[in-house]
Amino acid sequence: MQYRVLGCSGGEAPGFRLPSFLVEERLLIDTGSVAMALEVTQQAGIDHILLTHTHLDHTGGLPHLADNILGMRSEPVQVHGIAPTLDGVRRYLLNDVLWPDFTRIPSSAFPTLAYREVHEGVPFELAGCTITAIRVNHAVECVAYFVEMGGRTLLHVGDTGPTEAVWRHAREVPHLLAVCVETTFPNRLQEVADYSGHLTPRSLEKELDKLDRDVPVYVYHLKPAFRSEILAELKRLRRRALHVLEEGTLYRF
């Protein structure tokens, strides 16, 4: 499975791009940096987008992608998410106030984007993958996605604090290839992390104990201002299979 990191930072600054991950060139998980990271022709090649939640660092590239690819496709890009996420995008982002509603442009009959509701815990097929959404614990409704291809599964966890259901599900998945999970704040800001629904290296370690499986773990969503501090704390966890995702890198799982 090809998993291309377009951006994986917990904040935007020079040299740091917001979260966006391309699976097999056709399936995009979150849109934070897609418009900056890909050529327009590559953006037009994306058939499906999975949104983990509504927060702007994960949805903010969607308006620009839609604008860029207008008129370039014969079929709309399908935007998948749980009902609260899609409702948030409709009401607050592509709402004809903040940005045009590209589900009606260039026309309602031939739109640039189409929304597709995801039902939690119910597997569905798209882009040659079987996808399952499981709720995690964030400040807004948010999910993790299990992406299975050819009997092997990648777990991509959206923003989360300490949570339970996703780890229960992960323990039962055969051939789990890897887990991609956030770590946003350093340990000294544990209270902020808990309040906002994020992890620190300390709380990440407790979450991985719940997983109770020996699989590679890839960390992302580090805040740029705290990156070196978080990296040092992650290193002290002494987990051999713990890695940090690198922007612009193509991973093969």
Q: Strand order of the sheet with strand 142-149?
A: 124-126, 129-136, 142-149, 152-157, 176-182, 217-220, 242-244
Q: Which domain holds residue 28?
A: 2-252
Which residues does the chain have with pLDDT short of 50? none
Q: How many domains does the chain have?
A: 1
Residue 64, CA distances (Å) to 20, 32, 216 in order: 13, 10, 33
How much is the pLDDT for 10? 98
Could you give the CA distance from residue 155 to residue 178 in angstroms, rounded to a whole number? 6
Residue 133, CA distances (Å) to 1, 12, 150 in order: 18, 26, 18
Determine the length of the chain: 253
Residue tagged 């119910």 (tokens): 122
110 DSSP 8-state letter: S
How much is the pLDDT for 238? 81
In this prediction the pTM is 0.97
CATH number, domain of 163, equals 3.60.15.10
Could you give the CA distance from residue 184 to residue 166 in angstroms, rounded to a whole number? 19
How much is the pLDDT for 140? 98
